[in-house]
Each structure stands twice: as structure tokens, then as C-alpha cells.
Structure 1
Amino acid sequence: MATTTDSVARLSLAALLLLGSLWFCTAPGDPHSLCYNFTIDPQPSPGEPWCVVQGQVDGNVFLSYDCGGAKIQSTSPLGEEVKTTHTWETQTETLRDIGDLLKWRLSDVIPEKHMARGPLTLQARMTCQWEEDGHISGSWQFGFNGQMWLRFDSENEHWTVVHSGGRRMKEKWENDRAVTDYLKRVSMRDCRAWLQDFMVRWEEMLKSTASPTTGPPAVQPRATAIDLTTRIVLGVLASFFIMGIIVAWSLYKKRY
């Protein structure tokens, strides 16, 4: 008797915990992110570009760009959807300028001991993130040969050394007001504007892909509060319902 009742109770508790996780966890994919990955090769092979940029929204690649070229190439239906917009064209000059800046500053940030071993390939990632409450943040990551060395939080202008080799880069750029201001402006203003404009066209497409990182472009605070309240109420009702099953089962077993 007790064993049976305990088993039911454990199963009911497991079901309650599972239901709670479904109701109270954050809905997947509410935030949106737009990022641009730069690869700078100081000594490219003949015929190879010195700078390549790849654009991604929520992890989905939608564009590719050779910094020396005149046109950005669409690489997916997401790119095709927005390539006729004015925003698509405005990216070209900005992405080329970023590539030029990174190439120009490359020699300033590579430690001398690495220079003797041969050229290093610089990777940089600019990201703007659209959060659930509508706030958009910006950040940068920098590294060499596939290893991240340095992070830059555009909002608070905070530099974080991830790899010991990034100390020289941090010292150079942290004390260069022009570089800091430019990185902040591009990630917080340009990237933000591109994300807002593109999302108008991308919203339905991203929903239809059913990707774990997709969802509505923004959720207003009021809507978020209402949604959370609904989850809590339904969760509480579910709890009472399951507890009622446990009690009824226990009484039934005691009686029969």
C-alpha cells in the first residue's frame, strides 16, 4: 500500500517538476542577435582576399563580403529577403571601413615574439543583441588563429583579456579614444539600426524556421509581465490538480 502510494507520489512530483519547467522557463529564442565575423589575413595567398566578412542572424548565415569588393553577397533566403533594402547597401561602406581599421591596427597589437613566427590571422566578431525587453546591447570579440584573446563591452567600454596575448591589444586600444569610440559607435548605432530594419522583413521567416534561437523581435515589458503571470497561474492550478490526484489515490487505497 505505502509502496504504491509512494510510487504514485514520486511520479506525480516528477510530472509536476516537468510541467513547472515547461511553464516557468524562458521561452526559447526570444532574443535576436546580429553578428559580423571578420577574418583579416595580413599576407593572403595570390588571388585570395585579405579580408572576408560573414554575417549571421541568430546563428543563420545570410551574407558574405570581400572587403575589397563592391557588393555584398547574399548566401541564404534571409539575405535574399533584405538585399533590396537601403540598409543592405549601407552595410558595404561600414564593413569595408571596419576591415581597413583592423588591418591598419594589426601590427600594433601583435606581440613581437609572434611576429618572428610568421603572420597571424586576426578574427573579430561584432555582435548586437536584441533582448526580450527591447534593449539592444553591443560587443566585440578579438582573437588570432581561431583563439579569442580579448572582449569589448560596447555599453560600458570595458575591455576583458581572455588570453595573455591580448594584453598588448588591450593596452593599445583601451588608451586610444578614437578606436574605442569607433567600435562602440559601430556596434551600438550601425549594427543596432541594421538589426531593427532587417527584423521587419525577417520576423515571419525566422518564426517559420522553428530555430531554437528565433522568436519575436522584441517583447515589451508589459507583455512580458502578463505572460509571466499567466505561466504562474497555470502552474499553480496544475500543482493543485496533481496534488488532488495524489490525495484521491491515497484515500482510494486506504479504503480498498
Structure 2
Amino acid sequence: MIMLPFLCMMLATHWDPYEYAHSLSYNFTTDPRPRVDQPWCEFRGEGDQKIFLSYDCGRAQIKYLSPLGEEVKSMSAWETQTDTLRDTGDLLQEQMPDVTPEKHTDKGPLTLQARMTCWREGNGHTSASWEFGFNGQLCLLFDSKNGFWTMVHSKGRRMKEKWENDRVVSDFFRTVSMGDCQSWLRDFMVCWEKMLKTSASLTTGPPTVKSLAAAIKHITWILPVLLTSFVITVFQG
């Protein structure tokens, strides 16, 4: 089964600078029993699959990892965003005991991963989803737009039963992804478009590709003519 966020991202890898689906993702990892040198919660922000920041929930430390990250930290709404994302980490930690699989046979501690993705398609339509799993195993999907929960692994059974019937949790996930995330995406796109236009004006890639394509087209047209002339010359000679 192809999940919409992954499909959206796959399409975005073959992008035209001005006509493609922008996506914004946050990847959360919650560890109820972290080692001394490990955070109990951390999340990573990705814009169009490129990491732009990481955040340690316990220490409240942010690392900006790209030019987009540097732009983001100057945005007036960023403080509100960090509060919302921190609340998400708190909620996941709070819910973890109730959604952990009953038979946990994996070696080592169990960690909960969550990935929130919101995106805008080329036609302007927007959507969002959540993916949840344990120790890297995808277990549960939540379609934020229609509110559907889909279990993709048996470890997600308790999680689905708990959250599907918990209106507060479901509404939180939907509001953050369809509301907050979409709002952040619109703000981030201002930075993205500026960067893309700057990059497009500096690079010589597209003209070279066009010239190469034109040359190939010209060669494929002229080769039959040259071949024909050669054959006629041979036979006449």
C-alpha cells in the first residue's frame, strides 16, 4: 500500500521549481526510559524532505540545520510553533503507556515514533496525515482530512482502539496537522519560493538541459539524411 505522504514526497523528488507539491513534516521520537545522554523526546523538521531543524524536548534546545532553518527562526510565529510541537511531544509521552503493545518482545527499550506531514499539491489542494510506529516499525496511519485510522501492523491495535475512541486525542492530531501545520507551511513557502527563485537565477542547469535536448533532436533528424546521402554516394560511385 502506498501512503499518501510518501507518494507526495516521491513526486516532489522530480520537481519543477514552480510546479510541485510542497510538504512539511515533523518526526517525533519518544523514549519513556532514555539513557543519561539521550533525550526523552526529540523531533526533526523537514521541508520538502530536507531537514532544517532538530529539537530536544527535555533541554528545549533547537539546532537549525539549513538556510531554511535560519529563515524559520526569524519568523514571528516560530515561538508559537515550538510550543505546539512541545505539546505534541508531551501528549505522545503521556499516551504511550496506554498504547504500548501488550506483548512487547523486542530487545531493549520501546520507543514511539510519530510523523506528521502536511502538504500542498500543485493544484493548491491541501491535506495532512500522521504515521505512528514503535522502534521503527510503522503500525498506524491517521488521515487527518477524513479522520480515518488504518492499522498496518498488529502492534498498532491498542493504539488504534485507544485513539479512535478518544475524541480529544483525535481532534488534537487533526487540528495540529490540518490547522497549525498548514499555516506553518504557508509561511515557510514564502522562504522556499525566495530560495528557489534565487537558486534558479544562479544555476545554468536548465538552459544546458534544453540545449542538450535540442542538440539530440537535431542529431536524430540529420542522421537519416546523412546516411541516405552516404548510401547514394556509395552506389553511384
TM-score for the superposition, normalised by structure 1: 0.69
Using the TM superposition, name which of 109-118 and 61-70 deviates more.
Answer: 109-118
Give me the whole-angstrom Cα distance separating, in 2, the residues matched to 1:141 and 1:208: 34
Q: Which runs of 5+ in 1 are unaligned?
A: 1-25, 211-240
Counterpart residue number, 1:82: 72
Q: After TM superposition, which residue ranges in structure 1, 4 or more long, deviate above 2 angstroms?
A: 26-29, 68-73, 115-119, 206-210
Of 127, 137, 140, which aligns to 1:147? 137
Structure 1 residue aligned with 2:111: 121
Which residues in structure 2 correspond to 1:1-256 (within 5 Å)? 28=16, 30-70=20-60, 72-114=62-104, 119-208=109-198
- For the 8 Å contact 1:54–1:65, the answer to whether it is kept is yes
SS state at 1:112 partner: coil
What CA deviation, in whole Å up to 9, does each residue of 1:225-249 have, x standing for no partner?
Answer: xxxxxxxxxxxxxxxx9xx99x999
Q: CA contact under 8 A between 1:125 and 1:142: conserved in structure 2?
A: yes
> How far is 1:116 from its partner?
9.0
**5+ residue gaps in structure 2?**
1-13, 201-217
State the Cα distance separating 1:131 from its structure 2 match: 0.6
Q: How many residues in Structure 1 have an aligned counterpart in Structure 2?
A: 206
TM-score normalised over the length of structure 2: 0.74
Three-state SS of the structure 2 residue aligned to 1:86 is coil
Counterpart position of 1:19 = none
* Cα separation, 2, equivalents of 1:193 and 1:72: 21
Q: Larger RCO: Structure 1 or Structure 2 (Cα < 8 Å, ≥ 6 residues apart)?
A: 1
CA RMSD of aligned residues (A): 3.1
